[in-house]
Structure 1
Amino acid sequence: MFGAVSATVAGCCRRHAVWTALAAATLTVALSVYVARNVAINTDTEALISSETDWRQREIALAKAFPTHSDTTVVVIDSDTPDKADDAAAVLAARLAENPALFKTVRRPDGGPFFDRYGLLFLEPDELRAIADQLIEAQPLIATLHGDPSLRGLFGTLNLALTGVAEDAISLDAMAKPMAAIAESIEATARGERRMLSWQTLLTGREPAPFERKRFIIVQGAIDYGELQAGANASAAIRAAAVELGLTPERGVRVRLTGNIPLGDEEFVTVSEGMGVATALSLGLVTLLLFLALKSWRMILCVLATLVAGLVTTAAFATAVIGPFNLISVAFAVLFVGIGVDFGIQYATRYRDERHRRDDLAVSIEASARTIGPSLATAAIATALGFCVFLPTEYVGVSELGAIAGAGMLIALAFNLTLMPALLALVRPGGEPEPVGYAWAAPADAFLLRHRRRVLLATVAAGLAGAACLPWLRFDFNPLNLKDPNVESTATVLELMADPMTTPFTIEALLPSLDEARAVAAKLVALPEVERAVTLASFIPDDQDRKLPIIEDLNMLLSTTFALPPVGAKPSSKESLAEIEECARRLAELPAERRGPEGERLMAALQTFLALPSPPVDALADALLDGLDRRLGALQTALGAGPVTLKTLPAELTADWVSADGRARVEITPKGDSRDNENLRRFAEAVRAVTPEISGSALTFQESSKTVLSSFRLAGAAALGSIALLLLLFLRRPRDVALVLTPLAFAAAMIGATMVVFGIPLNFANIIALPLLLGTGVAFNIYFVMAWRAGRPNPLQSSLARAVLFSGATTAAAFGALATSSHPGTASMGLLLTVMLGWALFSTLFVLPALLGSPPEDASAR
């Protein structure tokens, strides 16, 4: 019945070809304008998962309780010295805070007035005592530099110390570390480089850990999720401010951006860049394959015009009915082109076959519609149903993709049964002097028929082996593995993740009160998987009764030093140079065995510096003294520390950890390398066993993967069930339904085995290729089964085999080219699509003919 309807529609469109084509062109142009003016995209990745899931509800609750922790950019500042990193963070944070229109909040989680004053209290008592002893020993240097913070003051102090060494009053060993540090800066200056002297290290005698050379600023910049780069304006402003302030690698500071916003923004850039070569390669291969399939530029034009009209109409439907595209639903174009081009090739190839038989344009167009129409309709409706079952899932991204792609299949069917006949009538392709099928495939048809039992046994064995591999198929839940590791935001976060002291992959728990939060934190820190668990109470230093007396004694000793007035005017370059020359002379006068290796190094550095045609005194002053006044000021501030209690904590710090309604946050950090998925999984399980109400980045990725996999399992089962019922309605025989679905099951098993053997994991990017397998696999099999039911023998010699082969190859070329992308996520999608289509074609062209065997004797009755 549908064949007759298809033929009638095709005949009508052929007779009114000009009006049909004009109507389609007008509609396409009008809808193109509508899409261009109204299309929108929502780049918020959080919108991809339903907010109704339990874990999303916890995330939303946490975001409402602590609104300054959402949509953040993390500014990572690195320097050779903690001094410079701290100074850079302070001036950059102050500059950003001056622009509240662009930066809603600006926070320094590891710095600011509170840590400036009370930082010493967070050291262990023994460590604090050692620093106090060092500062007491350095008191003469501190006194001199406080009064004269210049090269004259620095080298004058060194000269005085060297006098003591010459008189055996002091040992040069006590000066070994300062001399080595000063020599290193002088050597760099002599080479034209800039090497900052760390006064923090010099005064305290404490070598900083690697993470202490980093500082962080967390900002909430202006976000526009309607743009591909939602935080582009804020990121550009941060970079510009850093350059204006001289925070550049040339000045010994590196400023990098990471966090959710920069990670997303830079990914869109790398995806678009990686698509350039892939798109060019794809277009070239598709054009070549279409020509090989159809042997006529006129028919290629018909196929592409029909495809474009359907694509634009589908985009307009999505814009009008669904609303803004999300980062998953925008892939509807991939699915539409992949299956839409199949419909076009099927119709055009069938037309070529009919034209060879009849050599009459009008009759061939209508005969093609009568023959292929029912198959296209069955495939389109089955595929659309398969996509639409994603609608009720919690994976909103794929749910909307399913709605759009499902509608797109019906739109593609409509255009192929109306516009395609009209275009063929207009362009009037030439006749077909030779058969369209593959006569050379006769031996293959004969082999599959003659050895049918063996082929099926081998297929069953291979399918069972493939299915046995499926338990080892893994899902990589870490989306960072899908990003280009060379872009700044990704490289930065991967570097931070390697160190438990800086990893952003944490878990957060929201408890009713601070007391409960402290109790939970105490249990968590006892776990072997947990590095630390921080609450507001963590900012109350331990052992204050032991530490405060040490600070008070030190303050009493150094307060008189800081009370001394400045020496006088800033020295001239000539005065500074004279002190430097005097230092070199005094070192040279010491016996070599008394100078030691550090003294020898300093003497050599000074001699090299002084031997320069014009010794850069100002550059040396910058390297040795930049930040000295701030370090001395910070020391004065720290010596004024008093007792710390919950009541004395600053309001902004309290607001970071306790909400307005009294709920308290616990931040839990994993031990080990956060880049290890298994490590994160064990960490999450251990924390959940103590407190199940958790969220945070280390958990989000895992919960997202569970939601995605659950959605695909549910939708996959529903799709297969609904497609089976639909096929039963159309085909009316359970055996025929099994013939359509069995090769698809074999292909799925072999795809899984291939992924396991070659170590290809499923991930958030390539998993959206699964609906394409469902669509093309079902469509290909329907074509063959319906041809078999119609009594057509020798499937591999038929025009249908040619159409399926080139349809699959064209789709594989179109999207397999994505595997060449430099973006790992895009490349993984292209690779999996290629694998899927390869096995789908194999199962259709080799497994299905063996299953079918000879056409049934009652074919005409079916």
Structure 2
Amino acid sequence: MRQKFFHFLSKLIEKKSLFIIIAATFFSCASIFFASTHIRMNSDYDDLVSEDLPYHKRYKDFLKEFGDQEYLFVVVEKGEDSKRAKAFIDALAKRLKNEATLEEVLWKIDQPKLKTSFPLYLSPSALDATKDFVQSHQAFTHSLLSIHHLASLFSVVNQSFNQVQPSAEHEPVFEKGFQFLNALLKDLSSVLRGEERKAISLEETLMELDPEFDSDAYLRSGELYFLFLMPKKDFGTMEVIAEPLQKIREHLTEVKKEFPEVKAGLTGRPVLAADELAATNKDMTLATTLALLCVGFLFVFFFRSVSRPALAMLTLVMGISWTFAFVALVFGELTILSIVFALILIGAAVEYAIHFVARYQEEIQKHNSLADAVEQTLQTAGRSNMTSALTTAAAFFTFTWTDFTGLAELGVIAGVGIVLCLLAMTLVLPALLYTKDKTLSQEQRRHTFPFQVPALLGLYRYPNRVLLGFVLFLFMLSPFFARVSFDNNLLHLQPDGLESVEMEHLIQEKSSERSWFANVRVDTLEEMQSQIAQLKQLPVVDHVESITKLVPDEQEKKQQIIADIRSKLGNISFPQLSSSVQKNELLHQLDLFQKKILSLQDAAFSSGKIEEVNELEHFSSNITEFSALLQQADEATLKALQAYQSDLLGPLRTAMLLVVQALSPEKLAVSDFPEAITRRYISSKGAYTFYIYPKENIWDPDALDAFVTAVSAVNPNAFGTPYEVHESGKLMRTTFLYSAIFAFAVILFLVWFDFKAIIPTCLAIVPLMVGMFLLVCVMGLLSLSFNMANFFAIPILIGVGVDSGVHLVHRILHERNLSALGTATAKGVLLTVFANAIGFGMMMIASHKGLASLGKVMAIGSITCLLSAVVFMPPLAALLLKLPALDKSARGS
């Protein structure tokens, strides 16, 4: 039946070649026009997975109700001077507020009530503890509030040794207190030595005690400040945030010039995606240019011609243009996954053109009639191409069952594209070759150089030895098979040196903020508080953020406790800050302080705590040094010390006044905060959501799995970016696994349908099976892992393996020996493999690690499939089919 079909095609081409070319050209132009006017880009990652999946439906519903929560972060390191960092933030925020490409700019909570209502953010237990302390240590508390010179400061320090008993609960406070006092003593000594010193900040010490605290309500976590930016996103373009990203970076660069000492950068999931796309585009442009040059040279070298390879490439372009029209007609859009179909078609469908042209050049040497050469090429290479294309298309169609809609669409588009390219190679390419060559004389037509691979014929002289050597080779590499793993960490795919990646690492190291967090939606505050209490107990959870971060709960109860504290304190008087240094009093307090330290040192020594003894000894020496310098200080030196005293105690007095004012806090409500902040926690429907931040770096797959599992145990309906990445990653791996199994079954059936015999069928898939096994072994040997990028090499390599096997087995069955494998068929196989290895292998130069790994896997896989196809399979075929390895002429030569 197929013989009659190809005979019919050859007659149609002989009689209607010009019509076929004109019709194909018309349809190609019409396809390009139709596709360009009807295909839109959809670069929304959230549309790659079916909304029928519960975790994804919850996430999409959340976005509709609460709005987009994927902010961009400007990360600013606090550094040694937090005031400079804040000035940097203010300067940048001033610029960004007027930027039309941004919808929201958040960097501080600008609410005056916060300055006098901050005690409401403390827990009732903390307030009760404060009340008890004030009640039992009233005199000490008044002394603390009345600090007005250095002597009174050290007096309070000395009193604290008697008033506050050290405990594990207070250890962090004592540790920071000693660090502050040690640094203060060093500064005071420097001032007395005539060195300029900026007064040490008490606020910095308080900030170290509370990683979220900032006296000016800037958005802070740990050592970092944050600006949250919501850009206008255009999902109709691949770049999505290209314009706002460019504007932000321009402003950031300008502000950095004003504050060169401040370290700052831009990151966030959208920025990482945009930077990844930009790096990919840059790398692909360079790799494609180099690949085209190298593959073009290969074509000319193998075919000794420019025109025939050019016609083959023109035909491929036609097939791809028809596929674009199919996309426009059926889907109307391309996603960030399905857009790679053109690259896949170039890699997979170019094989059919190569094999057709290679066999055509051989047949025109044998036949006087050009029509006979075309028919014989269709009957041989055309038949093999059909089997190869249908098996490759079937491999892609197996993706259609999955809920990973991005992969399903890619599978349909690539599968249909393979079939359309096959149609072009089977109908249009022969017509182009026939039309071109029929104007030439027979001598001009046959002006080609036979392609020989003598090394192959040499190998085939000793098929049993080759088989034994290859099996030993496989056996030696087999231990490396089990070493290959799947690397889920998407951060490992990013290029080195990207600011967004560097900032992401900085967030992990120096703050509890995360660009990934889980969400839970609830209807009532009671339900929210109950779940938060459970989640805070999980070891994988760093903290939980809810509306109570803005509007504290139990405010009435807290107000009553604060009122009790106020009454316990009684009347508070603030003496005026001293305009001089009370030298004698200060020396007296330093002497008492020294005795306290020596007492602690003796106690530490008695307990065998040598490290603490050494630290206290160093501390004691700093007290001694300052005391000695103070004893000798003249009037001018004391004046410098008094200036330092004012700079130190002025902000402290301001803070104390705020504390007293805050003892009459106003109740806070949601309406006290801007909607841009509150919508993050409360929807327009009145529902609540809260944010669960992981303790570990959940870019790491194991940490991600532990986090998702633990949170789901508390609330199975949790969702968010960690769930999207975790579940989608599992779905993708499952899809590839089951698709590979289904594809193998379909391929086996189609190849059997072509050969109608078991042994030829098995031989045809040997290059695929052995090539894939070798690929994994070599990857293990080179310590390469599969990842979300290089996994896409597998469908293409399936095409390479099956294509090579089918063509070689057909030729072996036709010739009944291995001699012909050294000519046109070998040319097609070698050129196909080298084109893939070089074309895709050029991606190894990419800075994007995902692309580079894809290039490595494609290059290695192409070579392993080639070795399996031309070294292992032919001798195996000679053995199983009981054929002579070479014909008489080859054996004689």
1:181 Cα deviation after fit? 10
Q: From the superposition, tell whether residues 682 and 110 of structure 1 become closer, same or farther in structure 2 (CA, over 3 Å).
A: farther
Q: Determine the structure 1 residue equivalent to 2:28.
A: 28
C-alpha separation in 2, matches of 1:715 and 1:598: 85
1:173 Cα deviation after fit? 9.1
Equivalent of 2:395 in 386, 394, 406: 386
Q: From the superposition, tell whether residues 243 and 810 of structure 1 become closer, same or farther in structure 2 (CA, over 3 Å).
A: closer
Q: Is this contact kept in 2: 1:369–1:417, CA < 8 A?
A: yes
Q: Determine the structure 1 residue equivalent to 2:468.
A: 454
- Residue 217, structure 1, aligned to residue 242, structure 2: no
1:22 Cα deviation after fit? 4.1
* 1:376 alignment partner, SS class: helix
Q: Aligned letter for 2:831?
A: F
* 2:680 alignment partner, SS class: helix
C-alpha separation in 2, matches of 1:134 and 1:320: 81
Equivalent of 1:769 in 777, 783, 793: 793
Q: Is this contact kept in 1: 2:120–2:665, CA < 8 A?
A: no
Q: Aligned letter for 1:271?
A: T
- Residue 75, structure 1, aligned to residue 90, structure 2: no
C-alpha separation in 2, matches of 1:198 and 1:430: 90
Equivalent of 1:370 in 379, 383, 387: 379
Q: Aligned letter for 2:203?
A: T
1:388 Cα deviation after fit? 1.4
Q: Aligned letter for 1:494?
A: H
Q: Determine the structure 2 residue equivalent to 1:670.
A: 694
Q: Determine the structure 1 residue equivalent to 2:875.
A: 850
Deviation string, structure 1 residues 52-91 (Cα, Å, up to 9, x no partner): 222212322332443252x422232334333444455467
Equivalent of 2:504 in 465, 481, 493: 493
Q: From the superposition, tell whether residues 12 and 458 of structure 1 become closer, same or farther in structure 2 (CA, over 3 Å).
A: same
Q: Aligned letter for 2:502?
A: A
1:299 Cα deviation after fit? 2.0
Q: From the superposition, tell whether residues 828 and 634 of structure 1 become closer, same or farther in structure 2 (CA, over 3 Å).
A: farther
Q: Determine the structure 2 residue equivalent to 1:431.
A: 446
Deviation string, structure 1 residues 297-320 (Cα, Å, up to 9, x no partner): 222212222222222222232233
The 5-angstrom pairing of residues 200-239 of structure 1 reads 201=203, 211-239=221-249
Deviation string, structure 1 residues 472-499 (Cα, Å, up to 9, x no partner): 5432223222122422222212221234
C-alpha separation in 1, matches of 2:633 and 2:500: 43
Q: Determine the structure 1 residue equivalent to 2:56.
A: 56
* 1:712 alignment partner, SS class: helix
The 5-angstrom pairing of residues 436-585 of structure 1 reads 436-448=451-463, 450-451=464-465, 454=468, 458=472, 461=475, 469-470=481-482, 472-499=483-510, 501-537=512-548, 540=552
Residues 2-11 or 781-790, more deviating? 2-11
* 1:228 alignment partner, SS class: coil
Q: From the superposition, tell whether residues 202 and 285 of structure 1 become closer, same or farther in structure 2 (CA, over 3 Å).
A: closer
State the Cα RMSD in Å. 4.6
* 1:389 alignment partner, SS class: helix
1:521 Cα deviation after fit? 2.7
Q: From the superposition, tell whether residues 538 and 79 of structure 1 become closer, same or farther in structure 2 (CA, over 3 Å).
A: closer
Residues 712-721 or 723-732, more deviating? 723-732
C-alpha separation in 1, matches of 2:740 and 2:834: 25
Q: From the superposition, tell whether residues 85 and 733 of structure 1 become closer, same or farther in structure 2 (CA, over 3 Å).
A: same
- Residue 817, structure 1, aligned to residue 826, structure 2: no
C-alpha separation in 1, matches of 2:660 and 2:313: 73
C-alpha separation in 1, matches of 2:200 and 2:47: 46
* 1:391 alignment partner, SS class: helix
Residues 310-319 or 81-90, more deviating? 81-90
1:331 Cα deviation after fit? 1.1
Q: Determine the structure 1 residue equivalent to 2:415.
A: 406
Q: Is this contact kept in 1: 2:477–2:777, CA < 8 A?
A: no
Q: Aligned letter for 2:856?
A: L
Residues 830-839 or 432-441, more deviating? 432-441
- Residue 786, structure 1, aligned to residue 786, structure 2: no
C-alpha separation in 1, matches of 2:204 and 2:479: 66
The 5-angstrom pairing of residues 346-357 of structure 1 reads 346-357=355-366
Aligned-pair identity in percent equals 22
Q: Determine the structure 1 residue equivalent to 2:709.
A: 685
Q: Is this contact kept in 1: 2:808–2:821, CA < 8 A?
A: no
Q: Is this contact kept in 2: 1:248–1:254, CA < 8 A?
A: no
C-alpha separation in 1, matches of 2:526 and 2:94: 34
Q: Is this contact kept in 2: 1:500–1:671, CA < 8 A?
A: no
* 1:532 alignment partner, SS class: strand
Q: From the superposition, tell whether residues 700 and 204 of structure 1 become closer, same or farther in structure 2 (CA, over 3 Å).
A: closer
1:277 Cα deviation after fit? 2.8
Q: From the superposition, tell whether residues 117 and 342 of structure 1 become closer, same or farther in structure 2 (CA, over 3 Å).
A: farther
C-alpha separation in 1, matches of 2:500 and 2:317: 37
Deviation string, structure 1 residues 545-590 (Cα, Å, up to 9, x no partner): 777777899998588989xxxxxxxxxxxxxxxxxxxxxxxxxxxx
1:787 Cα deviation after fit? 2.3
* 2:266 alignment partner, SS class: strand
Q: Determine the structure 1 residue equivalent to 2:615.
A: none
Deviation string, structure 1 residues 452-483 (Cα, Å, up to 9, x no partner): 763685487579756xx35x543222322212
Q: From the superposition, tell whether residues 202 and 810 of structure 1 become closer, same or farther in structure 2 (CA, over 3 Å).
A: closer
Residues 75-84 or 718-727, more deviating? 75-84
Q: From the superposition, tell whether residues 776 and 453 of structure 1 become closer, same or farther in structure 2 (CA, over 3 Å).
A: closer
C-alpha separation in 2, matches of 1:635 and 1:484: 51
The 5-angstrom pairing of residues 282-321 of structure 1 reads 282-321=291-330
* 1:503 alignment partner, SS class: coil
* 1:46 alignment partner, SS class: helix
Q: Determine the structure 1 residue equivalent to 2:744.
A: 720
Q: Determine the structure 1 residue equivalent to 2:167.
A: none
1:187 Cα deviation after fit? 7.2
Q: Determine the structure 1 residue equivalent to 2:778.
A: 754
Q: Aligned letter for 2:272?
A: L
Q: Is this contact kept in 2: 1:444–1:796, CA < 8 A?
A: no
Q: Determine the structure 2 residue equivalent to 1:193.
A: none
C-alpha separation in 1, matches of 2:672 and 2:363: 83
1:174 Cα deviation after fit? 10
Deviation string, structure 1 residues 122-146 (Cα, Å, up to 9, x no partner): 57779999999998466579xxxxx
* 2:462 alignment partner, SS class: helix
Q: Aligned letter for 2:846?
A: S
Residues 648-657 or 772-781, more deviating? 648-657
Q: Aligned letter for 1:222?
A: K
* 2:317 alignment partner, SS class: helix
Deviation string, structure 1 residues 618-674 (Cα, Å, up to 9, x no partner): xxxxxx99xx99996997499436558786784656643344556443433333444
1:348 Cα deviation after fit? 1.0
1:510 Cα deviation after fit? 3.1
Q: Is this contact kept in 2: 1:356–1:435, CA < 8 A?
A: no
The 5-angstrom pairing of residues 62-101 of structure 1 reads 62-69=62-69, 71-80=70-79, 81-86=81-86, 88-89=88-89, 96=96
Q: Determine the structure 2 residue equivalent to 1:618.
A: none
1:522 Cα deviation after fit? 2.4
C-alpha separation in 2, matches of 1:408 and 1:133: 82
C-alpha separation in 1, matches of 2:390 and 2:319: 16
Gaps of 5+ in 1: 142-171, 189-195, 563-590, 607-623
1:110 Cα deviation after fit? 7.2
Q: Is this contact kept in 1: 2:115–2:662, CA < 8 A?
A: no
Equivalent of 1:326 in 335, 339, 345: 335
Q: Aligned letter for 2:322?
A: T
Q: From the superposition, tell whether residues 179 and 92 of structure 1 become closer, same or farther in structure 2 (CA, over 3 Å).
A: farther
Q: Determine the structure 2 residue equivalent to 1:42.
A: 42
Residues 26-35 or 375-384, more deviating? 26-35
